[in-house]
């Protein structure tokens, strides 16, 4: 776990990070949607059962940090989607993006 200084307090990031390689199915879909939240942070959502995303273990609600080695924070949702759909394969760097303070979640997605 990493220690972070948060408003002068020590906080602990429980953020697990994973790399997932995914390929489009025969209909050209990956099997999940991208939700964009404040500050243009992007998250996996609506993982379809038995889809490519489900088969490779894409966790729902995790932050998308990079697509094919390119950071996505600050990009528009459409830009991230285009990065994904431009190729038949994508490599995603994902993080659970949770910060704990004294054992309590103070920020999650």
Classify residue 39: in a domain, yes or no: yes
- How far apart are the C-alpha atoms of 63 and 45, rounded to whole Å? 10
* Closest by CA position to 90, among listed 66, 63, 58, 68: 68
pTM of the model: 0.76
Q: What is the CATH number of the domain that holds 24?
A: 2.30.42.10
Asked, for residue 5, whether it belongs to a domain, the answer is no
Q: Is residue 87 part of a domain?
A: yes
* 76-to-38, 48, 73, 109 alpha-carbon distances in Å: 11, 23, 9, 17
75 belongs to a structural domain? yes
Position 48 in a domain: yes
* Three-class SS state of 46: coil
**98 or 42, greater pLDDT:** 42
| Residue-averaged pLDDT of the chain | 81
Phi/psi of residue 29, each to 5°?
Answer: -110, 150
1: in domain: no
Q: For the chain, what is the domain count?
A: 1
- The domain in which residue 44 lies consists of 15-108
Q: Report the pLDDT averaged over residues 42-65.
A: 94
Buried b (16+ CB within 10 A) or exposed e, 33-43: ebbbeeeebbb
2 part of a folded domain: no
Q: Is residue 15 pLDDT above 80, yes or no?
A: no
Residue 64 inside a domain? The answer is yes
């Amino acid at each position: 776990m990493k220690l972070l200084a948060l408003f002068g307090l020590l906080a602990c990031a429980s953020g697990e990070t994973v790399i997932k390689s995914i390929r489009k199915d025969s209909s050209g879909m990956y099997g999940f949607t991208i939700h964009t939240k404040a500050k243009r942070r992007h998250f996996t959502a609506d993982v379809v059962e038995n889809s490519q995303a489900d088969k490779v273990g894409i966790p729902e609600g995790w932050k998308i940090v990079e697509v094919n080695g390119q950071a996505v924070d600050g990009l528009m949702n459409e830009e991230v989607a285009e990065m994904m759909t431009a190729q038949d394969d994508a490599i995603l760097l994902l993080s659970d993006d949770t910060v704990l303070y004294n054992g309590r979640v103070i920020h999650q997605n």
